[in-house]
Structure 1
């Protein structure tokens, strides 16, 4: 709300489930401030839930894998027509396809205020193969077309910011840093350490790039070392993602029994409360929400020394960094914290303080609201 004018915001996101888990508090606050909130995404069983919040939902024909150029072009045309019809005062684009397609569509529709959320650049910007270099050039070109010289770009870490400043025609004045999606400190409470056999949890989408295979291999190593612990892998197969774990691989792991396989649970606070250590051996992230949630619960974290992951902890204080794609180093770090309970307890307590200082949802929402007000006041 600027003055007495009712303003319209459209959030564009690939997955409605991702929006609910990572951006819903921002939309609710925008609604409570008097904005009319529209959400454009793929279809989902969660649509009615979104409507119950008083939001308008638009179904966009996004596809997960995006191999048919005609289907992809249809999603772009839909967004252009949506922007022309709704005439939003501000568009907030979240995740890769909405950023690329929605950014170009917003420029063509002459939307003055555009916010682009870069939730992670992926490994294509660090890989050095010939194919990766070609893809990097193509994606950089598309980012240039999508972002332009007026959009405000939110990064979750400095590494991603610096990469796009290098490869795209971004100006420093367009850039903001907001550390992740935040955590509800009331839902994720500091809880006493689990007693008994130590429990190590990894909760993530079951993708190769999340470090799932390294987690399994670390469990095998620790079993051979006879380290007393339980390791739990919480997540679901992502059928639409080419790097997803397969059902046959899951079945082999079930038979092997080195980890407990648990379907994704919405009650992650309970899972972290029942754990002593939380792992995420990912290859690259924006700023992983799971690690922030683990810190809020007072759990020591073990993660990889890569962009995004290293930004979610204070190395040696709230958690341990290990080399990426290194199951032995991961196993060594887990064993160290298993054998040193006082160390992991102190790390967990420090993690809670870090979450309170840096990652509370109220702070994250306030930073977004300030950007909206700044853009809409200047528009």
Structure 2
């Protein structure tokens, strides 16, 4: 038996060699961050390994190379973060184009807004490659504030639109609203699209949980600490609730990243929590522990795909309070799995939170409905079948 590092490398190589290659030889998967790969896209990698002989993950690895390669992939450490600086964007696109040339993939799979914009720009610098645009949410492609960001948005949409106009492209979205928005701005994929139920969730891993039995109900937010997630609106709603004499504990889970211009600084989040019945935890080892302790899920996002956190909470039989954003309203039917409130309305959100606080039997009923909704079309198995069909369409003529 060889040294551990050599043995692990041989095992990973064996996994890659065992992968079937029914559709193509190699797929490059671009994801912004290695932690995002491990938290959200293990099922996607499993599907890609069924479609390609080799899957290469291009990401800012964040020290996660070994864990990602253990999934049967090869990892290239590369920052896929887009930039509103034209010179930086062009330099990154040039470097990515050279990577595409060196790897010579049959297809490139671009996940989320930054890799999509950067990848589409890089693809203009190389011979044609099939491309799968995987929109987990529109990010700055959907909403942008400030003149500079709006200029970036218009330029980025033109780049994406020109890519989607080609027959070698395919787009995955998480709601019909996202597809409609793309079409309105001229980025129309024609029939080359699929609408996914997010990344899906494994209902065997996220099982139905009994109500936690808290004396004071606990609402949990799980996600990145971004302004577009509606956290300011949530704080205002909690203030309204407190003024009414209602008791609610708010737990926030998620990181604040200095690299994202939309991120809320950690100092601001801490200040929010210090003056309210709220707690913030930047990292979570096992998100199932959140749903063992929380009574319901809250996400007042101003724009969203299909949040994984929402699906995980629903699978654990937790009711949902969400804003009327595309992915959220696709899943939550008002009064069935939870409540849907107008985006940006702290008054409406406070009313919905109050209804949750006052109705434990309703919480349990809506939580049961939420899990049933997951089982009816939002599991990893459902999403996997849609992904395979999309790749069959994109790569049907690539093998042989």
* TM-score for the superposition, normalised by structure 2: 0.87
Other-structure match for 1:224:
243
Other-structure match for 1:109:
126
**Residue 352 in structure 1 maps to residue 371 in structure 2:** yes
Change (3 A) 1:88 1:135: closer
CA RMSD of aligned residues (A): 2.3
Conservation of the 8 A alpha-carbon contact between 1:116 and 1:152: yes
Q: CA deviation at 1:123?
A: 6.3
**Residue 91 in structure 1 maps to residue 94 in structure 2:** no
Greater mean deviation of Cα atoms: 234-243 or 29-38? 29-38
**Residue 28 in structure 1 maps to residue 46 in structure 2:** yes
Q: CA deviation at 1:6?
A: 6.3
Within-5 A mapping of 1:280-359 = 280-359=299-378
Structure 1: unaligned runs, 5 residues or longer: none
1:205 to 224, 232, 246: 224
Q: CA deviation at 1:134?
A: 4.7
1:246 to 253, 265, 268: 265
Q: CA deviation at 1:178?
A: 1.2
Other-structure match for 2:15:
none
Other-structure match for 1:71:
88
Greater mean deviation of Cα atoms: 111-120 or 90-99? 111-120
Greater mean deviation of Cα atoms: 154-163 or 141-150? 141-150
- Which secondary structure does the structure 1 equivalent of 2:377 belong to? helix
Greater mean deviation of Cα atoms: 134-143 or 193-202? 134-143
Structure 2: unaligned runs, 5 residues or longer: 1-19
2:210 to 192, 205, 224: 192
Conservation of the 8 A alpha-carbon contact between 2:31 and 2:80: no
Change (3 A) 1:91 1:130: closer
Other-structure match for 1:175:
193
Greater mean deviation of Cα atoms: 160-169 or 122-131? 122-131
- Once the two structures are superposed, residues 87-122 of structure 1 have per-residue CA deviations (whole angstroms, 9 ceiling, x without a partner) of 111211111222122123335433442111122224
Q: Partners in 2 of 1:108 and 1:136 — Cα distance?
A: 21
Conservation of the 8 A alpha-carbon contact between 2:219 and 2:296: yes
- Which secondary structure does the structure 2 equivalent of 1:14 belong to? strand
Other-structure match for 1:40:
58
Conservation of the 8 A alpha-carbon contact between 1:90 and 1:111: no
Q: Partners in 1 of 2:315 and 2:172 — Cα distance?
A: 23
Other-structure match for 1:270:
289
Conservation of the 8 A alpha-carbon contact between 2:165 and 2:189: no
Q: Partners in 2 of 1:134 and 1:34 — Cα distance?
A: 38
- Which secondary structure does the structure 1 equivalent of 2:327 belong to? coil
Q: CA deviation at 1:32?
A: 5.2
- Once the two structures are superposed, residues 247-296 of structure 1 have per-residue CA deviations (whole angstroms, 9 ceiling, x without a partner) of 33233234324212223213111101211111000000111111111111
Conservation of the 8 A alpha-carbon contact between 2:224 and 2:255: yes
